[in-house]
Amino acid sequence: MTTTHSGVSTATRATAVAARATDLTKVYGQGETQVVALDAVSVEFRQAQFTAIMGPSGSGKSTLMHCMAGLDAISGGSARIGDVELTGLKDKKLTQLRRDKIGFIFQAFNLLPTLNALENITLPMDIAGRKPDRAWLDRVVETVGLAGRLKHRPSQLSGGQQQRVAVARALASRPEIIFADEPTGNLDSRSGAEVLGFLRNSVRELGQTVVMVTHDPVAASYADRVVFLADGRIVDDMPEPTADMVLERMLRFSGGAPRTPGFDAPGHTS
């Protein structure tokens, strides 16, 4: 069995489904300007699994993530978080679902500059009027290596540390699933590796479910599985990826060219 960055076989994972798309279709525009961004995509994201989503620029990665997270309305098919069908949910219910069941990590860390690290981590729960579970919070802070930095403001933290605050913020409310959109895109490779390591630890040690969009084969190799999109369809599903396997698969998209405008080489995660 291949040893991945996660060091754990997907076969040993829990099998419950955290999120599921069935024939998920997303069409933008109408008539001549119509774009089918997702073309009947069916995919499951299992609990306590770390999935990377890859594919050329414009293949539908962000659209899939946004539709699954209830940030964008779908045109057909279905998207579920746990047992909850997103289609037909009223705005208020959708907002609640995003707040209670989904964690987000973006390329830009999106921290509030006037709050310290701990206040940033607990902000979503404060807004929701929920008390953080102190023991869990301590574990999260420990897992992402932020103990000793909690009183620092974002400007007093490195980029990697700021992203770790964003990871802790996503983990703090124990969401059913975390969606991460290019979480290492603004980080140097060392800080990026740290953040990916912490994300992986959150899956291994805390049982978190993580779905991450990335262009970087090295980042993808931290995942348990890579789902490849092309032209709004899933074209491959790779368990236990290594960076070399992912790179080789990406090169096949681009006809063997070492670099294409649509598909970046490892290390570059724009």
Ligand X SMILES: Nc1ncnc2c1ncn2[C@@H]1O[C@H](COP(=O)(O)OP(=O)(O)OP(=O)(O)O)[C@@H](O)[C@H]1O
Residues in touch with ligand X (CB under 6 A) = 28-29, 35, 37, 55, 57-63
Query: Which are the contacts of 92, defined by CB distance < 8 A and separation ≥ 6?
Result: none
Element (H, E) at 18: strand 17-28
* DSSP code for 263: B
Q: What are phi and psi of 233, to 5 degrees?
A: -130, 155
Q: Is 204 exposed, middle or buried (0-12, 13-18, 19+ CB in 10 A)?
A: middle
Cβ neighbourhood burial of 100 (10 Å; 0-12, 13-18, 19+): middle
- Going 12 to 17 to 18 to 20, the CA torsion angle's sign is positive
What are the structure tokens assigned to 12, written together? 């040993």
**Cβ proximity to ligand X, 10 vs 62, nearer residue:** 62
Which H/E stretch holds residue 126?
Answer: helix 117-127
Asked if 178 and 170 count as a contact pair (C-beta separation under 8 A), the reply is: yes
Q: What is the dihedral of CA 74, 79, 84, 85, to 10 degrees?
A: 50
- The CB-of-178 to ligand X minimum distance in angstroms stands at 18
Please give the Cα distance from 175 to 75 (Å, whole number).
26
Separate counts of helices (H) and strands (E) for the chain: 8, 10
